[in-house]
């Protein structure tokens, strides 16, 4: 762990705790397709105490330049890495503002050797 890791990780949590909003977060693992039932499924584990910075919409240029990977209704959520014991992944679920969103992409921001923030692209 570097000196920046020791300082920036807790600072990210402090700022998001002060200005962010609480969400319900589930890590989803073992997602697969059941050929007998025709359904997909996985195991969901709740992550308590997760907060996000205010959600952001993607701009028109981000949507246009994504090659179809970002849709107009997608949101960008920023959260502190210290809320998690394992990194978020695609298929995780987040509930806030009366809707449930599925993580489409995760970008990790490092403060040194360790993750400091996760930027999540989510879709309802």
| Nearest partner of 20 among 86, 77, 100, judged by Cα | 77
Question: Taking a C-beta distance cutoff of 8 angstroms, is the pair 90, 108 a contact?
Answer: no
C-alpha dihedral (42, 43, 44, 47), degrees to nearest 10:
-130
Predicted model pTM: 0.88
Task: Give me the domains of the chain, ranges plus CATH numbers.
Answer: 3-123 (2.40.10)
Helix (H, G, I), strand (E, B) or coil at 14: helix
Please spell the DSSP secondary structure of 54-122, one letter per residue: PPEEPPHHHHHTTTTSS-TT-EEEEEEGGG-SS---TT-EEEETTEEEEEEEEEEEESSSSEEEEEEEE
Give the torsion sign (CA, 94, 95, 101, 107).
Answer: negative
Residue by residue, pLDDT tens for the chain (124 residues) are 899 999 999 999 999 999 999 999 999 987 666 667 666 667 899 999 999 999 999 999 999 999 999 999 999 999 999 999 999 999 999 999 999 999 999 999 999 999 999 999 999 9
């Amino acid at each position: 762990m570097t000196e920046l890791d020791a300082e920036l990780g807790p600072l990210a949590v402090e700022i998001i705790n002060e200005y962010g909003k609480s969400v319900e977060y589930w890590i989803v693992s073992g997602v697969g397709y059941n050929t007998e039932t025709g359904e997909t499924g996985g195991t969901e584990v709740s992550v308590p105490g997760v907060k996000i910075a205010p959600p952001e919409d993607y701009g028109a240029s981000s949507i246009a330049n994504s090659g179809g990977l970002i849709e107009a209704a997608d949101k960008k959520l920023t959260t502190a890495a210290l809320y998690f014991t394992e990194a978020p992944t695609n298929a995780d679920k987040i509930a806030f503002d009366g809707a449930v969103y599925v993580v489409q992409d995760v970008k990790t921001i490092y403060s040194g050797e360790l993750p400091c923030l996760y930027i999540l692209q989510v879709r309802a």
